[in-house]
Each structure stands twice: as structure tokens, then as C-alpha cells.
Chain A
């Protein structure tokens, strides 16, 4: 049996400290059972305040119309669609961690997957707000769904990338939610079975769906997770691909590019991981989970950030090169004059994007930087600022100068209500995250227990003896272990 858990000594432990199964439960469930801290209340109240500001902004927009956002004739997509793409991008890390890394058997995912999946769901919820409210007559938003209606029936255009988006985002949200919640069931049952308070027994009793931990249930649960991971892997790639189609299938110079799908997906993973870092660095400190979200986890995620950041950099340079090599006048102008020219009205945003997304992550080539918490936190925020500007550059610098030079003079700046809407989605995101961190286990308890005897520090120390075993004995045990 010990052989089944053997893992090389070269790999660092994923769970620090002398833990047994019960200790794992204690460490992760205790913050749920304790009263919320002062820091939690302060954060929660600020989040709710931001959310309320968002509600007021959106209400104003619904009453007076989209004109409240100060969009103008050439810039019909401003902050709102920038924010939409930005939030969807952030929503990519969770499913990537839980699905793709599950298929690649990356065991470090167990420490961070639950929180990352939750982050995904909240980010997609925020993203969805923008196109919905941008419709203007939001009370007719159900018109985008294909259903037999009395207007013809008039169907939506299935050849339109905007409709593909509706399907992609709603499918992504549904599948992520199912994946997340089915993984939560066993952990909610753990909270239920420990509960002393009446309301907690009732609440977690309902939430855990009567989970018992039966072997047959676990067998099905494993099969379900694996297939959902297999489904989510192409799904997560498809979502940002389809978001990029919103731009790439148009004929706007600066958007009409075949590189968009892979470039958007890499950028999405990049910004998603940065957001996971931001959240987990705070979570591990506030909830005291340093033994589970270890330096090892942070370093691995920083490696992903430098990789995806560099892919994004290559994509930026490629599209720049192609805009010259393609010899399309309009495409060339969009890049040379609207972006690269620092003296053009929005030239500054292009360099901000380049600096934050391509240059700054390069410091993660150094192990010392990858393992430095302050640098990591600062970088994670910087990357998300940079990725926001990437979407701003793509959207605004491509459309603020259209084919009619007489309309070029209008400079776009968002109104307070458009900014308020964005602040409101931050409020929504963090309100959800604070509630999640208070009422749900932020780390997958059962999954940590599953890898504990393989990757836990105290168990790994004992594995040294196994390495001293003669090869013949090892082979014999291996042959009989299955």
C-alpha cells in the first residue's frame, strides 16, 4: 500500500506541517464555525457599499438610457465591453485549475481549486452584467434566447458571434457551477456532521444533499469529476475563443485578426491566475491557511503567469508585425497611428498595456521573485490592470477613428455611471467571495485528504525509507499492489 502513495523526494510537500486527517478538517472548517473577524466585516461592508453604488448606476442607466455612459457615435463599446471581456478573462483560471490541471494530474491544484472555481463563477456573474445592461431595453433581454414566439416566430441569428457568446457564457457558467457544487458536496457534509448549532445543521444538511461518503457514491463522484473536467477543458478554451470572435469576425481594422482566439485565451489565463493570486494571498493570511496554500503553490502559479504573459507578449508583437506585413492600409494605420504612436490620443494606454503585461511579469524568471509574497501581490494587481488596458486598447483604439475622419475629434471618457457600474461589479464579486469564504470551505477538504499521505510534509519524510528498498523488492511489491 505504501507504494501506491510513493512520490519522489524531489517534489516539495504540498501540505506543510504535521497533519493528520482530523487536523486537515479542523484547519479548514474552523474559520466557518468561528464568528467573522473584524477584517471580514470591514471588507464585506465595503463590498456591499460598492455593490449598492453599482445598483444606483445601473438604475440610472435603465431610467435614462445607455446615453448615460457617455458613449458616442464611433465608440459604441467603451468601458462596458472592456469590463465584460476583462471579467470573463478572469473567470478562466478557476476552470483551468480544476479541469485542465486535473487531467494533467497536477496535484498542487487541490490547494487552490475550490477558491479559484468560486472566483470563476463570481467573475462570470459580473461579466454577464455588462452585455445584458448594455442592451438598453433590458426588460427585453430574453429576446436573445431562441424560443418559439409570437413575433414570427423570429429567431436569433445563429451565425452571429454575439449569439455564440450567449451560449458560450451561459454554458460556461452552468458547467462551472455544477463542477464546483458537486465537488463541494462531500465538504459540506463534513461541516454538517460537525455542526453543533441548529441552524448550521439545517443549512448544511440541505446544502450537502444528504451526502454520506459511501464508496459507490465516491466511485461515481470520481467518474463525474473526471468527465466534467474532460468537458470543461475544451469549454474553457472555447469561451474566450468565442469572445474573441466578437471582434475577429468583424471588419474593423485592429479587430479583424486570426490570431485573436489563442491570444485571448492566453490572456484570459494570465489575468485569471493573477486574480487567483490576489485573492489567495489574502485568504491564506486571513484564514491562516499557510500550510495548505504554500509557497510552492504560489511559485507554480507565478510560473504560469510568466508563461502566459510571454505568450501574450508574442501575440502583441505578432499582430504588430502582421499589421505591417499584411500591407493593409487601414490595419497598418490602426496600429501605427492609433496605438504605437505615443502622442496619439490613446497612445499611452498601449504602452501601459505593454509594460504591465509583457515586461513586468518577466521578473518571475527569478526564483527569489516568484517566492516573494509582496512582489507576487503587487504583480498580481499590476497584471490585472494591464489586462484591463489590453481590452481597452483593443476596443477603444480600434473604433475611435473610423473610416470617416470628420468624426475623429470625439474623445471618449466614461461617465460617473459607467465607472459606477464597474465599481458595482467589484462589489458583487467581493460580496460573493466574502460570503463564500465565510460559509463554505475555501479549500477542498476531501481532495487534500486524498493527497495528504502522498504529498503531506510529515508523510513525505517517511518515504525516504522506500527509496532505500532494493529494486527487486520494489518491483515485487509493485506487481502485487494492483
Chain B
């Protein structure tokens, strides 16, 4: 977890944000992230993010559930404790379909949600630095990381030219830590100016 310096540009309209993201990228600035109050389709492509593989994970969890159900019931009814139920077959596949289906769905859903939380590092008591508190309300916040080559004044002017309505510089922790949002203690010494 590192403390870095960021230039933060606030946008109020996603129609301005889209071309701005493209321009910032082609100008060679290091785009840290864009925070938005709702999902914006196509923004991930504009930022050059790769597609998520979460669905593949979901499929793998799903077939794990299918195999678990079939192998457990099969083993129990055929080998561990074969009960004669009305003289029916011990390998009674049609009757196992409901439970197999339910376990497939259960494994897939639970697995995917846990994977989602793990990938996004979401959990109770996880704290992050929020560059702009209104990016969960009505503003779109573009955060650009300052490297050794970045000229801050130039970058500020550039952001202004692409349509950012508010620009500021913040020193922030990039990772997450455990804490509570009602306590202002942050894990690093130099706290940047947080937008109200």
C-alpha cells in the first residue's frame, strides 16, 4: 500500500467525461481510476480496461455444485447407506435433478459474490480513501496519478481544457485498510484535501 499524489478532475456530465477519458489517455497521463455514481456502459472500454472474467468463475463454481450434488447423493445412496425406497433404483437420477439444480445455482451464486467481493476488496470495515464524496451522488471523478514525469500545472490546465469543472491535488493511500468511516484517522500522515 503506497501513498501517492493524484490530480483529481470532477465532471458533472458523462457526455463530457467520455471524450475527456480518451484525451487523457492519448495524452499519455496515467489514469488511476474514474469513480461514477452509476454504471456507465462503455466507460470501461474507453478506459482500456479488459473484460471481467467473473462469468467464467461463475460457470466453474456452478459445475462444482453439480458435481458435488451428484457425487454426494450417488455415493450416499449406492455405497454408504443404500436404502430400499419402494423398490426403486438406487441410482435414481431423475429424482436427483431438483437438488442437483439447486446446488448448482447455490454454488455459482455464492462463489461469484465472494469472488466479486474479493476482487473488488469489498467487506465490512474495509476503508478506502474517497477522492470525492459526491462521486456516489451526482459527480464523475477522474483521478490521474502523478509520476515523476507529470507536470502538475500542465495537467491541471489540460483537465480544464477537456471539461473538468473542479480540479484539485490529493495525496492519498491507494489501497484499503480496516477502519470505520466515522473515525477520521487515516493510515498515513499527510492527508490531502478532500473535496466536500
Contacts and interface: CB of A to CB of B under 8 A. Distances in A.
Instruction: Report whether chain A binds chain B.
Output: yes
Contacts of B85: 157, 159
A186 B14 CA distance: 18
B96 to A, nearest CB: 6
Interface stretch (B1-9, B153-161, B163-171, B174-182): B174-182
Contacts of A449: 37-38
Contact of B138 (A20, A199, A217, A223): A20
B75 to A, nearest CB: 10
Interface in B39-67: 39-44, 47, 49, 51-52, 54-55, 58, 62
B130 A174 contact: no
Contacts of B40: 215, 218
Interface string A182-195: 10011001101111
Contacts of A205: 127, 180-182
Contact of B119 (A220, A226, A482): A220
Q: State the majority secondary structure of interface residues on A.
A: helix
Given A193-B134, A221-B39, A234 B182 contact: no
B55 A223 contact: yes
A178 B51 CA distance: 23
Contacts of A192: 136, 181
Interface stretch (B28-36, B144-152, B185-193): B28-36
Nearest to A218: B39
Given A174-B110, A209-B122, A238-B98, A167 B103 contact: yes
A22 B140 CA distance: 12
| Interface range, A side | 35 or more
A201 B182 contact: yes
A2 B18 CA distance: 12
A216 interface: yes
Indicate the member of B54, B110, B116 with the most A CB atoms within 10 Å. B116
Nearest to B142: A215
Contacts of A245: 98
A174 B123 CA distance: 18
A210 B126 contact: yes
A198 B184 CA distance: 11
B181 A164 contact: no
Interface string A201-218: 110111101111111111
A153 B35 CA distance: 54
B98 A22 contact: no
B81 A204 contact: no
Given A215-B34, A449-B38, A231 B136 contact: no
Contact of A238 (B36, B102, B127, B138): B102
A152 B81 contact: yes
B106 A175 contact: yes
A400 B123 CA distance: 52
Contact of B54 (A22, A25, A223): A223
B137 A212 contact: no
B124 interface: yes
Nearest to A197: B182
Contacts of B47: 215
Given A205-B182, A210-B176, A450-B38, A224 B96 contact: no
B162 interface: no
Given A174-B106, A199-B182, A201-B181, A21 B81 contact: no
A409 interface: no
Contacts of A217: 120, 122
A221 B106 contact: no
A212 B127 CA distance: 10
Contact of B122 (A155, A175, A185, A190): A185
A355 interface: no
A238 B106 CA distance: 13
B128 A212 contact: yes
Nearest to A220: B52
Nearest to B49: A216
Nearest to B36: A213
Contacts of B105: 171, 175, 231-232, 234-235
A438 B35 CA distance: 27
A402 to B, nearest CB: 20
24 contacts: A1-B14, A25-B37, A153-B80, A154-B81, A155-B81, A157-B85, A158-B73, A159-B96, A167-B99, A179-B109, A185-B122, A186-B136, A192-B136, A206-B180, A212-B135, A213-B36, A215-B33, A215-B36, A216-B33, A216-B44, A216-B120, A220-B116, A227-B55, A446-B37
Query: Lowest 9 CB-CB distances: which A-B pairs, in order?
Result: A205-B181, A21-B138, A210-B126, A209-B122, A201-B182, A22-B138, A164-B98, A202-B182, A449-B38
Interface of A: 1-2, 4, 20-22, 25, 146, 152-155, 157-159, 161, 163-164, 167-168, 171, 174-175, 178-179, 182, 185-186, 189-190, 192-195, 198-199, 201-202, 204-207, 209-224, 226-228, 231-232, 234-235, 238, 242, 245, 446-447, 449-450, 482
Interface of B: 14-15, 18, 33-44, 47, 49, 51-52, 54-55, 58, 62, 72-73, 76-77, 80-81, 83, 85, 88, 92, 95-96, 98-99, 101-103, 105-106, 108-110, 112-113, 116-117, 119-128, 130, 133-138, 176, 180-182
